[in-house]
């Protein structure tokens, strides 16, 4: 998800008060059809790689982002700010115009923006040896967004991010992970914060031959680094999530 907010009008139709929660936890569309085994919200995802993996596993997954989806499935994408959806009990419209409602999410998987949180960017907090107050404030705003996801009314939550700066007071991550644990030969260390979920299981450990700095898909046709390309979940990790966390009872 990028930091520039762009939202489709009317994507979120209604958010009810917690005390008015519908008794059913079934996702239904506006034709009254019950769909899916688990109701999974993939927050801050425009690539739809994780959403697609869960769909292929038979679940009713929705990607949600302030950017339009690039994964080719607008019928699964909520083009809106995810915050009003986190606690369920809401109605929303996917990008194909179909209305849906959900009482409570069975799982939330999130990829919140890390630009102002990551420890790798700590050096950017200072300009000419002086603290950049604007950047610091944006870091606190990003941390608040992270915590709203972490504290959502959902029993199973996974958040992926690089290790953050300690000054923002985020909880310690649960698990470190690499793309080359799941068949993508790239070294790009990331972390998971897990609540109500087991560790993500490696599926195909290979020898890394690339780093995040020289991996060709992270660059555009002119050879320049693309942050948006780097933020997309590796397909191997996406499929591992569906395997580890999407098994039906």
Residue 41 lies in a domain: yes
Per-residue pLDDT at 24:
47
Average pLDDT in the chain: 85
Count how many domains the chain has: 1
The 10 Å CB-count burial string (b at 16+, else e) for 227-245 is eeeebbbbbbbbbbbbebb
In a domain, 225, yes or no: no
Q: pLDDT, tens digit, for every residue of 152-207?
A: 999 999 999 988 888 888 999 999 999 999 999 999 999 999 999 999 999 999 99
**How deeply is 125 buried, as exposed, middle or buried, from its count of CB atoms within 10 A (0-12, 13-18, 19+)?**
middle
Q: Which residue has the higher pLDDT, 219 or 110?
A: 110
Least confident of 73-77, 222-226, 237-241: 222-226
Range of the domain at 27: 1-179+192-199
Least confident among 7-16, 67-76, 78-87: 7-16
> Containing H/E element for 237?
helix 235-245
Q: Please state, in angstroms and rounded to a whole number, the distance separating the CA atoms of residues 179 and 169.
A: 27
Calculate mean pLDDT across residues 238-243: 96
What does the block give as tokens for 59? Answer: 């679940």
Considering the domain boundaries, does residue 15 fall inside one?
yes
Does a structural domain hold residue 216? no
The pLDDT value given to residue 2: 38
Res 222 pLDDT > 70: no
CA 214 to chain centre: 24
CB distance 84 to 78 below 8 Å: no
> Does a structural domain hold residue 105?
yes
Residue 185 lies in a domain: no
pTM of the model: 0.85
Alpha-carbon distance of 207 to 134, in angstroms, equals 41
pLDDT at res. 26? 53
Sequence-distant (≥ 6) Cβ neighbours of residue 45 within 8 angstroms: 1, 51, 63, 64, 65, 109, 111, 233
How far is the C-alpha of 130 from the C-alpha of 18, rounded, in Å? 44
A 10 A CB-CB count for 96 gives 10
Give yes or no for a contact between 117 and 164, defined as CB atoms under 8 angstroms apart. Answer: yes
Is the pLDDT at 16 greater than 90, yes or no?
no
Percentage of the chain modeled with pLDDT above 90: 61
pLDDT digit string, tens, across residues 87-104: 999 999 999 999 999 999
User: SS3 for 163?
Assistant: coil
In a domain, 243, yes or no: no
- C-alpha distances (whole Å) from 110 to each of 21, 70, 126, 162, 215 are 23, 17, 29, 13, 24
| 75 located within any domain | yes
Express each pLDDT in 30-63 by its tens digit.
445 444 589 999 999 999 999 999 999 999 999 9
Highest mean pLDDT among 8-17, 87-96, 163-172, 210-219: 87-96
SS3 of residue 170 by DSSP? coil
């Amino acid at each position: 998800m990028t930091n520039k907010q762009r939202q489709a009008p009317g994507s979120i139709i209604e958010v009810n008060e917690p005390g008015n929660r519908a008794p059913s936890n079934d996702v239904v569309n506006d034709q009254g059809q019950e769909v899916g085994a688990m109701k999974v919200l993939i927050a801050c995802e425009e690539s739809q790689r994780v959403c697609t993996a869960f769909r292929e596993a038979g679940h009713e997954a929705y990607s949600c982002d302030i950017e339009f989806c690039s994964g080719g499935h607008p019928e699964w994408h909520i083009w809106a700010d995810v915050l009003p959806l986190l606690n369920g009990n809401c109605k929303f419209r996917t990008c194909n115009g179909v209305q849906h409602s959900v009482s409570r999410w069975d799982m939330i998987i999130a990829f919140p923006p890390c630009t102002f949180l990551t420890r790798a960017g700590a050096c950017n907090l200072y300009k000419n040896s002086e603290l950049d107050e604007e950047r610091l404030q944006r870091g606190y705003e990003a941390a608040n967004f992270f915590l709203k996801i972490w504290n959502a009314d959902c029993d199973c939550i996974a958040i992926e991010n690089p290790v953050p700066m300690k000054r923002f007071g985020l909880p310690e991550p649960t698990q470190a992970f690499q793309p080359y644990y799941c068949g993508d030969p790239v070294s790009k260390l990331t972390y998971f914060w897990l609540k109500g979920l087991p560790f993500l299981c490696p599926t195909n450990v290979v020898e890394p031959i690339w780093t995040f700095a020289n991996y060709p898909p992270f660059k555009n046709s002119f050879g320049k680094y693309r942050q948006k390309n780097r933020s997309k979940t590796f397909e191997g990790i996406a499929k591992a999530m569906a395997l580890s966390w999407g098994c039906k009872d």
